[in-house]
Amino acid sequence: MVRVLFVCLGNICRSPMAEAVFRDLVKKEQLEDQIQIDSCGTGDWHLGEAPHAGTKEILHQQGISCDGMKSRLLTADDFKQFDYMVAMDQNNYRTLIQTGGQERAAVVKLMKFVEDIEDDDIPDPYYTGDFGQTYRLVSEGCNRLLQFLKEKHHLA
């Protein structure tokens, strides 16, 4: 089993979108029993809340469910429970590196899996309002991440 945790600041916009998109891709490839997926935030402003209306709307347009998802905070245990902690931007990445110490999870940025991009941060739609841009980047990153995991862990 490969365990993947998507991480952003509030866990209401980007990381729940990545969780839902990645879950959908994994399901389509029938790899649900080989990849475990979750998301969390490094900030505690929205704990227990459902995804942001903008995230819900764009997922709905794509026919992807985010039913039942609720914001939760990053925990120390996450560094032991997950194999990959996938940050949405440099701020989340830095928080993970600073709090994780020598734990075993690999800490990476989602857009590092995408070649030929100038900026490997996913802009925060909580501030930009551009959930379409977020979806395009998250979708591209999740597709590449799945290809990487399939090859690295020989999933089929």
Known catalytic membership, residue 124: yes
What is the Cα 130 distance to its own chain's centre?
Answer: 17
For 108, the token pair is 């990476």
41 and 16 in contact (C-beta within 8 Å)?
A: no
Q: Which of 4, 5, 6, 8 binds ligand 4NP (CB under 6 A)?
A: 8
Known catalytic membership, residue 119: no
Q: Which of 4, 5, 6, 14 binds ligand 4NP (CB under 6 A)?
A: 14
Known catalytic membership, residue 14: yes
> Is 111 a binder of ligand 4NP (CB under 6 A)?
no
Give every CB contact of residue 38 below 8 A, 6+ residues apart in sequence: 3, 4, 5, 6, 19, 82
Identify the DSSP state of 67: T
Q: Which is nearer to ligand 4NP, 29 or 140 (CB)?
A: 140
Q: Which is nearer to ligand 4NP, 4 or 10 (CB)?
A: 10
Cα first-last separation, the chain: 12
| Total H helices, total E strands in the chain | 6, 4
Identify the DSSP state of 52: P
Q: How far is the CB of 6 from ligand 4NP (least distance, A)?
A: 10
> Is 9 a binder of ligand 4NP (CB under 6 A)?
yes
Annotated catalytic residue: which of 13, 14, 24, 89?
14
Binding to ligand 4NP (CB under 6 A) within 126-155 occurs at 126
Residues that bind ligand 4NP (CB under 6 A): 8-14, 45-46, 124, 126
